[in-house]
Amino acid sequence: MRLALLALFCPLLGFAQTFPVRTVTIMVPFPPGSSSDLIPRALAPLMSQSMGVPVIVENRPGAGGNVGAALVARGDASGHQVLMAPSAILATNQWLYKEPGYDPQKDLTPVINAATTPNVWVAHPDTPVKTIRDVVTQAKAKPGALAFASGGNGTTSHLCGELLKTTAKVDLLHVPYKGPAPALQDVIAGRVPLMCDNFSNVITHVRSGRLKAVALTAMTRHPQAPELPTANESGLPGFEVGVWYGFAVPAAAPRPVVQKLNAEIAKALRDPKVGERLEQLGLAVVADSPEHFAAFVAAESEKMRRLVQVSGARVD
Protein backbone atom coordinates (compact mmCIF):
# COMPACT_ATOMS: atom_id res chain seq x y z
CA MET A 1 0.00 0.00 0.00
CA ARG A 2 2.82 2.36 0.95
CA LEU A 3 4.63 1.64 -2.31
CA ALA A 4 1.44 2.29 -4.28
CA LEU A 5 0.94 5.68 -2.62
CA LEU A 6 4.59 6.54 -3.23
CA ALA A 7 4.21 5.64 -6.88
CA LEU A 8 1.27 8.04 -7.18
CA PHE A 9 2.93 10.84 -5.26
CA CYS A 10 6.39 10.81 -6.84
CA PRO A 11 5.29 11.92 -10.35
CA LEU A 12 3.42 14.89 -8.83
CA LEU A 13 6.39 15.83 -6.70
CA GLY A 14 8.72 15.52 -9.67
CA PHE A 15 6.43 17.65 -11.83
CA ALA A 16 6.15 20.32 -9.15
CA GLN A 17 9.93 20.46 -8.86
CA THR A 18 10.33 21.04 -12.60
CA PHE A 19 7.28 23.32 -13.03
CA PRO A 20 7.14 25.48 -15.05
CA VAL A 21 8.58 23.93 -18.18
CA ARG A 22 7.11 26.36 -20.72
CA THR A 23 5.33 29.72 -21.01
CA VAL A 24 2.83 30.53 -18.27
CA THR A 25 -0.25 32.38 -19.52
CA ILE A 26 -2.35 34.51 -17.20
CA MET A 27 -5.84 34.71 -18.65
CA VAL A 28 -7.66 37.97 -17.90
CA PRO A 29 -11.40 37.58 -18.55
CA PHE A 30 -11.88 41.34 -18.90
CA PRO A 31 -10.68 44.01 -21.37
CA PRO A 32 -7.27 45.71 -21.12
CA GLY A 33 -7.01 48.68 -18.78
CA SER A 34 -9.10 47.40 -15.88
CA SER A 35 -7.61 46.58 -12.47
CA SER A 36 -8.08 42.91 -13.37
CA ASP A 37 -5.71 43.53 -16.28
CA LEU A 38 -3.24 45.90 -14.62
CA ILE A 39 -2.48 43.60 -11.67
CA PRO A 40 -1.21 40.60 -13.68
CA ARG A 41 0.69 42.91 -16.04
CA ALA A 42 2.51 44.34 -13.03
CA LEU A 43 3.32 40.85 -11.74
CA ALA A 44 4.20 39.04 -14.99
CA PRO A 45 7.75 40.42 -15.52
CA LEU A 46 8.79 39.58 -11.97
CA MET A 47 7.25 36.11 -12.14
CA SER A 48 9.00 35.46 -15.45
CA GLN A 49 12.35 36.49 -14.01
CA SER A 50 11.85 34.32 -10.93
CA MET A 51 10.52 31.21 -12.69
CA GLY A 52 12.79 31.32 -15.72
CA VAL A 53 10.05 31.11 -18.34
CA PRO A 54 7.97 33.75 -20.15
CA VAL A 55 4.84 34.83 -18.28
CA ILE A 56 2.35 36.49 -20.60
CA VAL A 57 -1.06 38.11 -20.10
CA GLU A 58 -3.91 37.30 -22.46
CA ASN A 59 -7.29 39.07 -22.47
CA ARG A 60 -10.43 37.04 -23.19
CA PRO A 61 -13.37 39.28 -22.23
CA GLY A 62 -17.03 38.43 -22.64
CA ALA A 63 -20.20 37.66 -20.67
CA GLY A 64 -19.06 39.43 -17.53
CA GLY A 65 -15.84 37.45 -17.42
CA ASN A 66 -17.44 34.05 -17.98
CA VAL A 67 -15.84 33.45 -21.39
CA GLY A 68 -12.25 33.61 -20.16
CA ALA A 69 -13.07 31.82 -16.91
CA ALA A 70 -14.67 28.90 -18.75
CA LEU A 71 -11.67 28.60 -21.08
CA VAL A 72 -9.32 28.19 -18.14
CA ALA A 73 -11.68 25.94 -16.17
CA ARG A 74 -11.88 23.52 -19.12
CA GLY A 75 -8.27 23.95 -20.25
CA ASP A 76 -4.73 22.93 -19.39
CA ALA A 77 -4.55 21.83 -15.74
CA SER A 78 -0.75 21.66 -15.54
CA GLY A 79 -0.52 25.13 -13.98
CA HIS A 80 0.77 26.80 -17.14
CA GLN A 81 -2.60 28.52 -17.59
CA VAL A 82 -3.67 30.75 -14.70
CA LEU A 83 -6.89 32.71 -14.37
CA MET A 84 -7.10 36.23 -13.00
CA ALA A 85 -10.22 35.64 -10.93
CA PRO A 86 -11.77 38.66 -9.22
CA SER A 87 -14.80 38.44 -6.98
CA ALA A 88 -17.27 38.35 -9.87
CA ILE A 89 -15.65 35.20 -11.26
CA LEU A 90 -15.29 33.19 -8.07
CA ALA A 91 -18.20 34.46 -5.96
CA THR A 92 -20.92 36.28 -7.88
CA ASN A 93 -21.44 35.26 -11.51
CA GLN A 94 -22.57 31.73 -10.66
CA TRP A 95 -25.67 33.23 -9.01
CA LEU A 96 -26.34 35.84 -11.70
CA TYR A 97 -26.04 33.76 -14.87
CA LYS A 98 -28.18 30.75 -15.66
CA GLU A 99 -25.32 29.08 -17.54
CA PRO A 100 -21.98 30.80 -16.87
CA GLY A 101 -20.13 27.93 -18.56
CA TYR A 102 -18.16 26.88 -15.48
CA ASP A 103 -18.73 26.09 -11.81
CA PRO A 104 -16.18 27.98 -9.70
CA GLN A 105 -16.67 25.62 -6.78
CA LYS A 106 -16.03 22.46 -8.82
CA ASP A 107 -13.94 23.60 -11.78
CA LEU A 108 -11.44 26.03 -10.25
CA THR A 109 -8.95 25.96 -7.39
CA PRO A 110 -8.21 29.29 -5.65
CA VAL A 111 -4.47 30.05 -5.62
CA ILE A 112 -4.09 33.44 -3.96
CA ASN A 113 -5.97 36.65 -3.23
CA ALA A 114 -3.71 39.31 -4.70
CA ALA A 115 -5.38 42.55 -3.68
CA THR A 116 -8.61 44.12 -2.56
CA THR A 117 -10.37 47.47 -2.61
CA PRO A 118 -13.53 48.54 -0.77
CA ASN A 119 -16.44 50.41 -2.25
CA VAL A 120 -17.41 53.94 -1.27
CA TRP A 121 -20.85 55.47 -1.08
CA VAL A 122 -20.58 58.78 -2.92
CA ALA A 123 -23.08 61.53 -3.63
CA HIS A 124 -23.38 64.55 -5.86
CA PRO A 125 -22.17 67.56 -3.83
CA ASP A 126 -25.67 69.12 -3.84
CA THR A 127 -27.28 65.99 -2.37
CA PRO A 128 -28.26 66.86 1.24
CA VAL A 129 -26.50 63.95 2.94
CA LYS A 130 -23.25 63.83 4.90
CA THR A 131 -23.34 60.35 6.41
CA ILE A 132 -24.76 56.95 5.52
CA ARG A 133 -27.29 57.52 8.30
CA ASP A 134 -28.51 60.61 6.42
CA VAL A 135 -29.05 58.39 3.37
CA VAL A 136 -31.08 55.95 5.44
CA THR A 137 -33.14 58.77 6.97
CA GLN A 138 -33.94 60.24 3.55
CA ALA A 139 -34.84 56.84 2.14
CA LYS A 140 -37.22 56.12 5.00
CA ALA A 141 -38.87 59.54 4.65
CA LYS A 142 -39.68 58.92 0.96
CA PRO A 143 -39.61 55.18 0.18
CA GLY A 144 -38.55 54.45 -3.42
CA ALA A 145 -37.71 58.07 -4.23
CA LEU A 146 -33.98 58.17 -3.46
CA ALA A 147 -32.02 56.71 -6.38
CA PHE A 148 -28.60 55.12 -6.70
CA ALA A 149 -26.70 54.41 -9.91
CA SER A 150 -24.81 51.21 -10.71
CA GLY A 151 -22.66 49.74 -13.46
CA GLY A 152 -25.46 47.27 -14.25
CA ASN A 153 -27.54 44.50 -12.74
CA GLY A 154 -25.47 42.21 -10.55
CA THR A 155 -22.39 44.45 -10.43
CA THR A 156 -20.76 45.21 -7.11
CA SER A 157 -22.20 48.73 -7.20
CA HIS A 158 -25.69 47.27 -7.61
CA LEU A 159 -25.28 44.67 -4.88
CA CYS A 160 -23.88 47.32 -2.55
CA GLY A 161 -27.16 49.19 -2.92
CA GLU A 162 -29.13 46.01 -2.33
CA LEU A 163 -27.13 45.34 0.82
CA LEU A 164 -28.01 48.81 2.11
CA LYS A 165 -31.69 48.16 1.36
CA THR A 166 -31.72 44.89 3.27
CA THR A 167 -29.44 46.02 6.12
CA ALA A 168 -31.22 49.31 6.83
CA LYS A 169 -34.65 48.08 5.67
CA VAL A 170 -35.14 50.93 3.22
CA ASP A 171 -36.48 51.20 -0.34
CA LEU A 172 -34.06 52.77 -2.84
CA LEU A 173 -34.52 53.21 -6.58
CA HIS A 174 -31.89 51.32 -8.60
CA VAL A 175 -30.76 53.01 -11.84
CA PRO A 176 -28.55 50.57 -13.81
CA TYR A 177 -26.12 51.66 -16.53
CA LYS A 178 -24.00 49.81 -19.08
CA GLY A 179 -20.82 49.99 -17.04
CA PRO A 180 -19.52 52.02 -14.09
CA ALA A 181 -18.12 54.92 -16.14
CA PRO A 182 -21.44 56.25 -17.51
CA ALA A 183 -23.08 55.67 -14.12
CA LEU A 184 -20.39 57.68 -12.38
CA GLN A 185 -20.65 60.48 -14.95
CA ASP A 186 -24.37 60.84 -14.30
CA VAL A 187 -23.77 61.07 -10.55
CA ILE A 188 -21.12 63.73 -11.16
CA ALA A 189 -23.60 65.57 -13.40
CA GLY A 190 -26.28 65.39 -10.71
CA ARG A 191 -28.72 63.23 -12.70
CA VAL A 192 -28.59 60.52 -10.02
CA PRO A 193 -27.77 61.45 -6.42
CA LEU A 194 -25.90 58.37 -5.17
CA MET A 195 -23.60 55.53 -6.15
CA CYS A 196 -21.57 52.86 -4.36
CA ASP A 197 -18.49 52.30 -6.50
CA ASN A 198 -15.01 51.01 -5.75
CA PHE A 199 -12.48 53.25 -4.06
CA SER A 200 -10.07 53.48 -6.99
CA ASN A 201 -12.84 54.65 -9.34
CA VAL A 202 -14.17 57.45 -7.14
CA ILE A 203 -11.35 58.80 -4.98
CA THR A 204 -9.94 61.24 -7.58
CA HIS A 205 -13.43 62.72 -8.07
CA VAL A 206 -13.87 63.03 -4.31
CA ARG A 207 -10.54 64.84 -3.97
CA SER A 208 -11.43 67.20 -6.82
CA GLY A 209 -14.77 68.06 -5.20
CA ARG A 210 -16.86 66.62 -8.03
CA LEU A 211 -18.23 63.99 -5.67
CA LYS A 212 -18.91 63.87 -1.95
CA ALA A 213 -17.76 60.79 -0.03
CA VAL A 214 -20.39 59.44 2.36
CA ALA A 215 -19.05 56.16 3.72
CA LEU A 216 -16.45 53.50 3.05
CA THR A 217 -17.90 49.98 2.83
CA ALA A 218 -15.15 48.30 4.86
CA MET A 219 -14.55 47.36 8.47
CA THR A 220 -11.58 49.70 8.82
CA ARG A 221 -10.71 53.06 7.31
CA HIS A 222 -8.67 53.26 4.12
CA PRO A 223 -5.03 54.36 4.60
CA GLN A 224 -5.31 56.65 1.56
CA ALA A 225 -8.40 58.38 2.98
CA PRO A 226 -8.25 58.08 6.77
CA GLU A 227 -10.72 60.92 7.17
CA LEU A 228 -13.47 58.91 5.47
CA PRO A 229 -15.65 57.03 8.02
CA THR A 230 -16.81 53.49 7.39
CA ALA A 231 -20.44 52.46 7.19
CA ASN A 232 -19.66 50.05 10.02
CA GLU A 233 -18.71 52.87 12.39
CA SER A 234 -21.54 55.07 11.12
CA GLY A 235 -24.37 52.90 12.38
CA LEU A 236 -24.45 49.97 9.95
CA PRO A 237 -22.53 47.19 11.75
CA GLY A 238 -20.80 44.69 9.47
CA PHE A 239 -21.58 46.60 6.25
CA GLU A 240 -18.78 45.47 3.96
CA VAL A 241 -18.70 45.39 0.15
CA GLY A 242 -15.66 45.49 -2.08
CA VAL A 243 -13.83 43.98 -5.01
CA TRP A 244 -10.99 41.50 -4.62
CA TYR A 245 -8.63 40.20 -7.26
CA GLY A 246 -7.53 36.60 -6.98
CA PHE A 247 -5.86 33.98 -9.13
CA ALA A 248 -7.13 30.45 -9.79
CA VAL A 249 -6.23 27.36 -11.79
CA PRO A 250 -8.26 24.39 -13.04
CA ALA A 251 -9.42 22.11 -10.23
CA ALA A 252 -7.25 19.24 -11.51
CA ALA A 253 -4.01 21.21 -11.11
CA PRO A 254 -1.53 19.34 -8.85
CA ARG A 255 -1.43 20.69 -5.31
CA PRO A 256 2.35 21.26 -5.33
CA VAL A 257 1.90 23.40 -8.45
CA VAL A 258 -0.79 25.46 -6.69
CA GLN A 259 1.64 26.04 -3.83
CA LYS A 260 4.42 26.99 -6.26
CA LEU A 261 2.22 29.53 -8.05
CA ASN A 262 1.06 30.93 -4.72
CA ALA A 263 4.67 31.47 -3.64
CA GLU A 264 5.69 33.08 -6.94
CA ILE A 265 2.70 35.45 -7.08
CA ALA A 266 3.13 36.38 -3.40
CA LYS A 267 6.82 37.11 -4.01
CA ALA A 268 5.96 39.43 -6.91
CA LEU A 269 3.22 41.15 -4.90
CA ARG A 270 5.71 41.98 -2.14
CA ASP A 271 8.02 43.78 -4.55
CA PRO A 272 8.11 47.47 -3.46
CA LYS A 273 7.47 48.79 -6.97
CA VAL A 274 4.43 46.52 -7.39
CA GLY A 275 3.14 47.57 -3.98
CA GLU A 276 3.51 51.22 -4.94
CA ARG A 277 1.72 50.66 -8.25
CA LEU A 278 -1.20 48.85 -6.59
CA GLU A 279 -1.43 51.53 -3.93
CA GLN A 280 -1.78 54.12 -6.69
CA LEU A 281 -4.79 52.12 -7.90
CA GLY A 282 -6.33 52.23 -4.44
CA LEU A 283 -5.61 48.54 -3.84
CA ALA A 284 -4.30 46.81 -0.72
CA VAL A 285 -2.09 43.74 -1.17
CA VAL A 286 -3.40 40.53 0.47
CA ALA A 287 -1.09 37.68 -0.67
CA ASP A 288 -2.68 34.94 1.45
CA SER A 289 -2.33 31.15 1.33
CA PRO A 290 -4.39 28.89 -0.98
CA GLU A 291 -6.19 27.48 2.07
CA HIS A 292 -7.07 30.89 3.49
CA PHE A 293 -8.18 32.16 0.09
CA ALA A 294 -10.37 29.09 -0.51
CA ALA A 295 -12.14 29.63 2.83
CA PHE A 296 -12.57 33.33 2.01
CA VAL A 297 -14.01 32.53 -1.43
CA ALA A 298 -16.51 30.09 0.11
CA ALA A 299 -17.72 32.72 2.58
CA GLU A 300 -17.93 35.44 -0.08
CA SER A 301 -19.78 33.10 -2.44
CA GLU A 302 -22.44 32.39 0.18
CA LYS A 303 -22.73 36.10 0.97
CA MET A 304 -23.24 36.91 -2.72
CA ARG A 305 -25.74 34.06 -3.13
CA ARG A 306 -27.94 35.54 -0.42
CA LEU A 307 -27.57 39.07 -1.75
CA VAL A 308 -28.35 38.14 -5.37
CA GLN A 309 -31.35 36.12 -4.20
CA VAL A 310 -32.72 39.04 -2.19
CA SER A 311 -32.10 41.52 -5.01
CA GLY A 312 -33.63 39.33 -7.70
CA ALA A 313 -30.77 40.33 -10.02
CA ARG A 314 -30.31 38.30 -13.21
CA VAL A 315 -28.08 38.94 -16.18
CA ASP A 316 -29.43 36.43 -18.69
Residue-wise pLDDT for 15-60, tens only, equals: 556 899 999 999 999 989 888 999 999 999 999 999 999 999 999 9
Give me the residue spans of the domains in the chain: 22-116+243-311, 118-216
* pLDDT at residue 180, rounded to an integer: 87
Asked if residue 250 has pLDDT above 70, the reply is: yes
Taking residues 174-183, report their average pLDDT. 91
**Two domains, one topology: 22-116+243-311 and 118-216:** yes
- Domain range 22-116+243-311, its CATH number among 3.30.300.30, 3.40.190.150, 3.40.109.10, 3.40.640.10: 3.40.190.150
Q: What's the whole-model pTM score?
A: 0.86
Taking residues 294-307, report their average pLDDT. 94
Taking residues 83-99, report their average pLDDT. 95
Confidence of residue 5 (pLDDT cuts 50, 70, 90): very low
* pLDDT at residue 316, rounded to an integer: 67
Asked if residue 274 has pLDDT above 50, the reply is: yes
* pLDDT at residue 251, rounded to an integer: 98
* pLDDT at residue 4, rounded to an integer: 52
Average pLDDT score, the chain: 92
Confidence of residue 87 (pLDDT cuts 50, 70, 90): very high
Confidence of residue 12 (pLDDT cuts 50, 70, 90): very low
Q: Give the percent of the chain with pLDDT over 70.
A: 94
Assign 3-class secondary structure to the chain.
CHHHHHHHHHHHHHHHHHCCCCCEEEEECCCCCCHHHHHHHHHHHHHHHHHCCCEEEEECCCHHHHHHHHHHHCCCCCCCEEEEEEHHHHHHHHHHCCCCCCCHHHHEEEEEEEEEEEEEEEECCCCCCCCHHHHHHHHHHCCCCCEEEECCCCCHHHHHHHHHHHHHCCCCEEEECCCHHHHHHHHHCCCCCEEEEEHHHHHHHHHHCCCEEEEECCCCCCCCCCCCCECCCCCCCCCCCEEEEEEEEECCCCHHHHHHHHHHHHHHHCCHHHHHHHHHCCCEECCCCHHHHHHHHHHHHHHHHHHHHHHCCCCC
Q: Which of 2-6, 198-202, 307-311 has the highest mean pLDDT?
A: 198-202
Q: Which CATH class is domain 118-216?
A: alpha beta
Taking residues 271-291, report their average pLDDT. 93
Taking residues 140-154, report their average pLDDT. 93
Asked if residue 242 has pLDDT above 70, the reply is: yes
